Structure 1
């Protein structure tokens, strides 16, 4: 079809973005479902795994966190490699290797092997999340990015909505074919990642110019839009790798994300056992189903918050982000305070909604500031240093609970981290976001969602 008239470029761009959302984003968040599940499924197997593999509480906390050390060390190099070899090949490599290592967790019989595999799992998965955030910048103009990030972030709550019952069901296969339930869980969920990784190689395209599922006119309009934004960002932000790694604003983003991840992973690693204590049951299918409730709430809140944030100028999004993370902290503090199972689950639902909803909005800040190699390095650095919160949180939570002889003290510590992140969001200065100057406004194009 031949487009004519002044609105033809806008119409082609809007249609192209809609097709990107329909084709790429569901697959990306499905990949993230598998990634997040393989990262945190150890929380479901915690009690049986510790008992059969001889893992102490302190060793569990250390092993759960060691994932993030390997993850942090290889995050930036992995993202830089992806810019050279392309997303489709690199995403395939990441998923297949982490799937094999996750499946190998079924063989753990000592603390040393547990530490080794958790570290290697982090090395294997390094680059996946920041790679996808970077990949989205190749396909989606800034005006639509918060809601696109939100659709991708559906992977976190969906991993628990679907993964909770799946993990619980696999645990109940205990003894089938002479294999323990936690071994079934690690083996099956790890091999699923391998299959999806091979699928990714054949499904993904590296950039809009390669997408045969877009018309030539749509490919041109979309590639032009993202290229124009990239050129504008070069003029206002760092565009070389080394200058990015020491940029003050990038390091400030690292600190905010670190505090958010302390709260998120401190809650996630222990959520199944918290729910089990609240409902008075061992971790299994029932606990898996109840654990899905907070993440179902997060699913519903996430897209509403991100769609609303896309209508705001970039500097005003910091108020949305601060409100989300503060609300999450109120929820997790409430879950610690109330002894009623209903009120505890309600508090955890508020916490999950706040902590999940803040993250797609957060990533619009570095994405509005960085481009090219700087984006690959900066997003990788923010995610790697930020995710060290996943290493610190389990250890800090265990330490403070032991020191105060209180099972709720650790939850209050996680809530404090969230409130600190909210305060830092409010201190973000009104910086010039070059991508916003040339973005295609949803109100002018009719939107893409």
Structure 2
């Protein structure tokens, strides 16, 4: 690629100096407004379709006579399908381009998610959750990979944190929406509220899947909304960022890198807390003393709103200080405190229980985006495509273990408290592993 240091201002599409921080900030601002809000909207819909089963549980278990263990296993089986197809999916995305592959993922999962209205037995529940995991595999790691095409490591923590506020935003929006659908549509056309929720919440994913084909670009070079000079500036930043990163000559070499597996272990701990909380949030709110599906949905917006604020503040702070480890350890420990506090408050004090759930959500949900600044600091190229997917894939096995474990514990003890204590312990253990990672490895 032609170096841009000797390019005249006119050749840069209005950029007077390729090294001007103001001009560079302007270009990245343009990129961010173009792609990040759209990707966030896609992820809001993705996460809503992934975890709305937690709201369906409030009616589904009674209607279909499922036990807590059946629900926990079904919620977790999603991640087995996710695990099997995630690495191949991300490698395919890297080869065929983000636009077509992300659209394929969204449309496929929407059709399967809507089909949940036909679930009648534990077996069909397990099969549909497994197929949903297969369909959605590659979406999240694909987006993380896609962001590495646009942003160097020094800007990525804030961007990933901003993008991942889609998780709590899906709770802020989806909680009240799911509660309203389940109450308002119950009995319409002879369908239950939870059946209507699955079919109506699948529609946006189909619409957005089509929009991806029309709106998203595969990368910097294919974008028509950037000038040639802006493209060259962005490409130079990505090339400079790639220097010193790991570019494994083969997938086998990438899988042999011990650092990748340390990252997977850390992420496993983050995900254990994340899905243990999000799948069981409606149940925890109900246990805290809130009655009625719509009211439960409204109260779930409180912890998720706290998480949005925490994610934005911590992502900005991490990039500003170029510090990654303690910015991850702190929210993991806060998440553990929040989970224990919410369990101890239980049904005795609704207000205190909600406050601790807000602390738990702020800590647990902030951990995942802050985590991704670690592996993307040293992985590059196809190693990034496969490595991100492998880390996410192994880490998301916790999405199977967490809900199933809590469901089984609740069936045995008739309480979620011990499950919350286990999740808190996993988060503390993960934080300890983070501090074992050399600061110089992840300081970009």
**Structure 1 match to 2:334:** 327
Distance 1:336 1:67 in 2: 26
Residue number in structure 1 paired with 2:38 = 27
CA distance in 1, matches of 2:45, 2:257: 33
CA distance in 2, matches of 1:227, 1:162: 39
- The residue number in structure 2 matching 1:204 is 216
Contact 1:239 1:371 in 2 (8 A): no
Partner of 1:415: 424
Secondary structure of residue in 2 paired with 1:80: helix
SS of equivalent residue, structure 1 residue 232 = coil
1:275 partnered with 2:282: no
Deviates more, 1:206-215 or 1:33-42: 206-215
Q: For residues 230 and 7 of structure 1, what CA distance do their matches in structure 2 show?
A: 18
Counterpart in the other structure of 1:259: 269
CA separation in 2, counterparts of 1:292 and 1:265?
16
Aligned pair count reads 430
Aligned residue number for residue 371 of structure 1: 380
Q: Distance in 2 between matches of 1:140 and 1:4?
A: 18
2:101 is matched with which residue? 90
Give the aligned partner of residue 301 of structure 1: 310
Aligned partner (choices 209, 215, 223) of residue 227 of structure 2: 215
Which residue of 309, 318, 321 maps to 2:325? 318
Pairing partner for 2:191 from 179, 189, 193: 179
Correspondences of 1:54-69 after superposition (within 5 Å): 54-69=65-80
Of 357, 363, 366, the match for 1:348 = 357
Instruction: Give SS of 1:321's match.
Output: helix
1:78 aligns with 2:85: no
Cα distance in 1, alignment partners of residues 366 and 188 from structure 2: 39
**Root-mean-square deviation (Å):** 1.7
Change (3 A) 1:206 1:31: same
> Relative to structure 1, is the Cα distance of residues 290 and 18 closer, same or farther in structure 2, using a 3 angstrom cutoff?
same
Specify every segment of 5 or more residues in structure 1 that has no aligned partner in the other structure, as ranges.
437-449
Quote the residue 1:126 is aligned against: 137
SS in 2 for 1:279: coil
Aligned-partner Cα distance in 2 for 1:330–1:57: 25
Aligned equivalents of 1:323, 1:286: Cα separation in 2: 31
Tell me how far apart the structure 2 counterparts of residues 417 and 176 of structure 1 sit (CA, whole Å): 43
Residue 166 of structure 1 pairs with residue 173 of structure 2: no
How far did 1:122 drift? 0.1
> CA–CA distance in 2 between the matches of 1:239 and 1:311?
33
Paired position in structure 2 for 1:444: none
Conserved 8 A contact 1:12-1:217: no
Rate the CA distance shift 1:112–1:246 in 2: closer, same or farther, 3 A. same
- The CA deviation at 1:57 is 2.1
Q: Give the C-alpha shift of residue 312 in structure 1.
A: 2.2
Distance 1:395 1:273 in 2: 14
Change (3 A) 1:81 1:405: same
TM-score by length of 2: 0.93
What is the alpha-carbon distance in structure 2 between the residues aligned to residue 101 and residue 221 of structure 1? 42
1:248: which partner in 2?
Answer: 258
In 2, Cα distance between equivalents of 1:95 and 1:123: 12
Cα 1:373–1:347 change in 2 (3 A) is same
Unaligned ranges ≥5, structure 2 = 1-8
| 1:381 aligned residue | 390
* Contact preservation (8 Å) 2:67, 2:411: no
CA–CA separation in structure 2 for the residues paired with 1:399 and 1:57: 7
Deviates more, 1:374-383 or 1:187-196: 187-196
Indicate the residue corresponding to 1:105 in structure 2: 116
1:16–1:219: 8 Å Cα contact kept in structure 2?
A: no
For the structure 1 residues 84 and 17, does the alpha-carbon distance in structure 2 shift closer, same or farther, using more than 3 Å as the test? same
Superposed CA deviations along residues 292-339 of structure 1, whole A, max 9, x for unmatched, are 1000011111101110000223xx310111011001110111000013
Tell me, what secondary structure is at the counterpart of 2:197? helix
Q: Does 1:151 align with 2:162?
A: yes
Deviation at 1:397, TM superposition (A): 1.6
- Once the two structures are TM-superposed, the CA of residue 403 in structure 1 deviates from its matched residue by 4.7
Distance 1:5 1:151, change over 3 A: closer
Give yes or no for the alignment of 1:15 onto 2:6. no
Alpha-carbon distance in 2 for matches of 1:78, 1:5: 41
- Whole-Å separation in 1 of the counterparts to 2:258 and 2:169: 34
Give secondary structure in 2 for the equivalent of 1:45.
Answer: helix
The separation in 2 between residues aligned to 1:405 and 1:346, in whole angstroms, is 23
Secondary structure class of the residue paired with 1:302? helix
- Which whole-Å CA distance do the structure 1 matches of 2:207 and 2:18 have between them? 43
Partner of 1:361: 370
Structure 2 CA distance for aligned equivalents of residues 103 and 406 of structure 1: 31
Cα distance, 1:23 vs structure 2: 1.1
Measure how far apart 1:406 and its partner are. 3.9
